Amino acid sequence: MARRVIAIAAAVMLAIVGVVAVVLYANGADQRAISGAQPRTVYVSQQVVPAGTSLSEAVTRGLVVATNLPAKSVPTGVLTAITDDNKNLLAVTDIAAGEYVLVARFGTTPQGSQALRVPAGQIAVTVQLIDPAKVGTFIAPGSHIVLFSTKGTGTATNAQGGAQIVNPETRVLFDDVLVIAVGNASLAETRPTGEATASTSQGIGKLVTLALKPEQAPRLVQAINSMEILDPSKGQSGLYAGLRGSEVSVDNALVVSSANLYNR
């Protein structure tokens, strides 16, 4: 009899514990559901946010606006608050309209405006070349070029009133140099060598930045500073580039003048 009473009491206790556990779980689920449904502030791009725009400016101009989402629907990494720590950060790239603005979209430096990346052990030097002298629009960051220099004993005025080199001679200045920027496009935006790209600067002269060995840099600077004043509108340039192909051999000792122009 005593054993039966004990068994009944134990069964009752287990039933009570089960009921309490179910009630506690249900209450917790309700709390989780309420918590997940509670609104949280997130930011959405109302208009395009140009790269370089500060977060505070984007909000002031209405480019980025606050909205509310259920907590369980908030995307990972989304911006949820404007603080003193992030208000001066800049959009690292353009942000399209209608995006949830992620924290990672803002940083200290916009992409494309960072300092030019110069290969280790080399020096960046920029030259100005007209389109024909830089192979039209086919030289791009990442291209390897041959750079030719034409120089004479002086200049004279031709019949058309333009400058003309007297006794010009053309020789190879560098047989293989790396282009790391053309206009404002740098090697960070590398295109395949030889791929056409639109000119990135206005006017007749286009800027081409080369990565040179320390002993090459002063030679290029000397070549630039000692060039005769030519008329670029007539396609004249003291420096001329050639786009290198594969397995090309360049004769660095070759000097071409009017005297041997047609020699074979």
Residues 147 and 236 in one domain: yes
For residues 209-238, give the mean pLDDT: 74
Is the pLDDT at 66 greater than 90? The verdict is yes
Distance, CA of 34 to CA of 192 (rounded, Å) = 54
Residues 89 and 208 in one domain: no
CB 227 within 8 A of CB 215: no
Residues 99 and 130 in one domain: no
Residues 153 and 241 in one domain: yes
Last residue of a domain, one of 54, 81, 107: 107
Q: Output the pLDDT for position 204.
A: 42
Q: Output the pLDDT for position 218.
A: 93
Q: What is the pLDDT of residues 135-165, one digit of tens each?
A: 877 888 888 999 998 877 666 666 666 666 6
The CATH number that applies at residue 60 is 3.90.1210
Asked if residue 32 is part of any domain, the answer here is no
Q: Output the pLDDT for position 234.
A: 44
Q: What is the pLDDT of residues 21-65, one digit of tens each?
A: 555 555 554 455 444 468 899 999 999 998 888 999 999 999 999
Q: What is the pLDDT of residues 214-227, one digit of tens each?
A: 999 999 998 888 76
244 burial (CB, 10 Å; 0-12 / 13-18 / 19+) is: middle
Q: How far is CA 209 from the centre of its chain?
A: 16
Residues 100 and 136 in one domain: no
Secondary-structure breakdown of the chain: helix, strand, coil percentages, each rounded to the nearest 5: 25, 30, 45
**15 pLDDT tier (thresholds 50, 70, 90):** low
Residues 92 and 136 in one domain: no
242/236: higher pLDDT: 242
- The lowest-confidence range among 21-35, 79-93, 117-131, 191-205 is 191-205
Is the pLDDT at 1 greater than 80? The verdict is no
Distance, CA of 149 to CA of 257 (rounded, Å) = 12
Tell me if residue 98 falls in helix, strand or coil. coil
Domain carrying residue 52 = 39-107
Asked if residue 167 is part of any domain, the answer here is yes
**2 pLDDT tier (thresholds 50, 70, 90):** low
Asked if residue 10 is part of any domain, the answer here is no
CB 105 within 8 A of CB 188: no
Q: Output the pLDDT for position 60.
A: 92
Asked if residue 16 is part of any domain, the answer here is no
Quote the tokens at residue 234. 């007539």
Residues 130 and 192 in one domain: yes
Q: Output the pLDDT for position 237.
A: 55
Residues 130 and 237 in one domain: yes
Is the pLDDT at 213 greater than 90? The verdict is yes
Distance, CA of 193 to CA of 143 (rounded, Å) = 5
